[in-house]
Every structure is written in structure tokens, then in C-alpha cells.
Amino acid sequence: MVSTDLKKTGNELGAKTTYQLFLEREALPVIRAFHVEDIREVALHPWARMGDYGVYLNLEGTEGVNDCYICEVPPGKSLEPQKHMFEEMIFVVGGRGATTVWRDGGKKQTFEWGEGALFSPPLNTWYQHFNGHGDKPVRLLAMTNAPTILNLFHNIDFVFKCDYPFTDRYDGEEDFFSGNAKVPAEGFSDTNFIRDMKSFELVERKDRGAGGRMIMIEMANNVMSAHISQFPVRTYKKAHRHGAGTHVIILRGEGFSVMWPEGEDIQRYNWRAGSLLVPPERWFHQHFNVGAEPARYLALKPFSSRKFPGLRKQWGTSESVKTGGDQIEYEDEDPRVREMFEEELAKRGVRSQMDPVFKAVRQA
């Protein structure tokens, strides 16, 4: 007879994952929730490895696929140099500064950034962040696939001490961080540095509803990617679902999102500029703009590269669930969704701008 213990997973038997052991070594607090109200105000704690203050965000919707952290660079100072085998996308929450990147024995490259910038240090290169202010800290938020990589190799030293140079990703190109972009297909931007996510030009995406605009972003030859999405005042987008780990950062606007597993109750989360939420895998979610300006957000996504596909399930985020996709069309949504939206607008003394959208749907 097979022991019932052998049928249990490592976690059920009390074993810790390599990523969990890594977090213990980091000795840094970890926030676990569905939603962070304002990443600009999250309390930070001393972080020996980075040489500053920080906190880990292991939000529920990541489901162990990826993680996020916030750190600060002290006024007029720099962080410790870092190198690792996991990918990382860094968003500048506040302040201005510079990052220097280099390979072992290679020439150093330095590029400057300010609030709202997005960049990605190439895989397994050295990099170091510097604060350009003499009187206030810089705050950075980074999404990484460290949980997957650490648990895959289950060797922390290998992940941080591997010497292999990934020259197919980065070979010291002088224009690597110039901000120049390639356009591999309509609605896509292949670049390694974006100066300001709040003003980056977007293209129309009718399939997502409400006159929204979007751009898909790939960086540093990563398997991770991102997109920026924007939708008009007093409108809302269609509900859809996808895999775990997408970090949604509100860049501007005011509103709320709802999330729910199919067949279960809707959960609501209010947001404003600086809010962060991560929908869990296969949870429908939907975003509503109740503010006085177009709402714009940045979505940082694990394992969803156009150039390097095949690492995860492909989701039909722009195809109706009625035809096998993962999007709920306006005509099929729960009536409570529109009621919730209009009730919130009524509290503010304003009216919905969705009537032309629904009229177009009926005519189609």
C-alpha cells in the first residue's frame, strides 16, 4: 500500500519552497493582499542586500508565479550592485536618478530616468541604481519572475552567482537604453526604456470596449512583457480573465475594479493613481472610470512575450466567452455591473458616458 503522505505536496508536508527560503534570507516584510491602495505610501524596512529600504509584495493574484518589490534609493546615494538570473521590470514610482548596467569585464552604460519611467536590466547583467536628488529618496517598484526561477533551479547561489553572459539578450549595444522603439506589429512596441508611461502614445483597441486605447510593450528580450491601457471619462471596459501574476498599476484617474471567479460573488476594489491590484488566474475582472480624466494603467505581465511564446496558456482576452474566449461582451454582462457603475456616478452628480457605446452594440 502506498503511504497517504506520499500523495501530499511538499507544502502540505511542511516543506518550504526555495523562494520561501529566499524570503527568509532577505529578512524583509512581505505584503499579501489582493490590492495595495497606494504604492507611494507603503511603509518600507531596512534591506541589507539592496543597501536601502524595501518591502516585498506577494499579492494573492500572483499565485507563486512572480513577485513584486518596492525599494527606495536614499537622497544622493546608490543601491548595492545586483546581478541575478531572473527577469525584472522596473517602474519609477517617484523621483529621478540613473542606472548603470554592465557585464563582467565589459563597458559600463548609464542612462537617466525620472518619475513614470519603465525599464528592464538585461538578464544576468550587473546593474546599480543612483538617486539624482540630494534631498529626497527615489522610489522604485519592480516585478520579477524570481519565484519561478528560484523554485525551478532550487539553488539560491546559482541564481545570484551564475557567470553565463546572455549575449543574445544584451551585448553592450550603445543604444540599448536610448528609448528607440521597434514596431513588430500594429499595437506593439519593442523597446528597452520608456521615459514616461503617462504620456506614451497608444493606439485604439475597439475590441476591449468603451473607446479604449492600448499599447503592448516588450523589453530587454524578456519573456515578461507589459501593456499600457487607457479608457475615457465615465466609461468602463469589458470584463475578461487570464492567467496569474498581472500587476495592474494605476497611472492616473480614479475608479474601481471588480473581480470574481466564475459563478461566485463580485469583489470590489477602489483605486486612484498609485493603486496596485493583481487579479488571480481565471478570475474575471473589469475596470471602471468614475473620475474627471481618462484612466490609464500599466500592466506588468509574466511569461506573455510575443517574441518568445509557448511558456503559458494563451487566453482569448478579446474573444467572447460564448465562442470559447475569455471576454464578457457588454450585452452578456450581469446587469448589476452597470447598476454599480451608475450608482457610483450618481453619488458624484455626474452621468455615464456609456450610452453611445451600448447604442453601437445594439446596432451591430
pLDDT for the residue numbered 22 = 98
pLDDT for the residue numbered 59 = 97
The answer to whether 128 and 80 are in contact (CB under 8 A) is: yes
pLDDT in tens, 108-128: 999 999 999 999 999 999 999
| Max Cα distance, the chain (Å) | 69
pLDDT for the residue numbered 24 = 97
**The domain 15-161 is classified under which CATH number: 3.40.50.300, 3.90.480.20, 2.60.120.10, 3.20.20.70?**
2.60.120.10
Mean pLDDT, range 226-247, rounded to an integer: 96
State how far the alpha carbon of 336 is from the alpha carbons of 136, 150, 236, in Å. Answer: 46, 43, 13
pLDDT for the residue numbered 355 = 86
pLDDT for the residue numbered 11 = 55
Mean pLDDT, range 231-245, rounded to an integer: 96
pLDDT in tens, 165-201: 999 999 999 999 999 999 988 899 999 999 999 999 9
188-363 has the same fold as 15-161: yes
What is the full DSSP assignment across 190-254?
A: E-SEES-TTT---EE-GGGSTT-EEEEEE-TT-S-EEEEEEE-TT-BPPEE---S--EEEEEE-E
pLDDT in tens, 286-303: 999 999 999 999 999 998
Q: Is the pLDDT of residue 2 over 80?
A: no
Whole-angstrom Cα distance, residue 191 to residue 250? 21
Exposure of 9 by Cβ count < 10 A (0-12 exposed, 13-18 middle, 19+ buried)?
A: exposed
Lowest mean pLDDT across 74-88, 306-320, 335-349: 306-320
pLDDT for the residue numbered 313 = 77
- For the chain, domain boundaries: 15-161, 188-363
Whole-angstrom Cα distance, residue 95 to residue 297? 19
Whole-angstrom Cα distance, residue 79 to residue 138? 11
How, if at all, do strands 88-94 and 118-119 pair?
antiparallel
Q: Is the pLDDT of residue 217 over 90?
A: yes
Q: Go through the chain and tell me how many residues it has.
A: 364
Enumerate residues 6+ apart whose C-beta is below 8 A from 207: 318, 327
pLDDT for the residue numbered 360 = 67
Q: Is the pLDDT of residue 357 over 90?
A: no
Q: Is the pLDDT of residue 5 over 60?
A: no
Whole-angstrom Cα distance, residue 233 to residue 352? 9
pLDDT in tens, 38-91: 999 999 999 999 999 999 999 999 999 999 999 999 999 999 999 999 999 999
The answer to whether 59 and 103 are in contact (CB under 8 A) is: no
Q: Which fold has domain 188-363?
A: Jelly Rolls (2.60.120)
pLDDT averaged over every residue in the chain: 93
Whole-angstrom Cα distance, residue 293 to residue 299? 19
Q: What does pTM read for this prediction?
A: 0.93
* Signed CA dihedral, 14, 15, 19, 21: sign only: positive
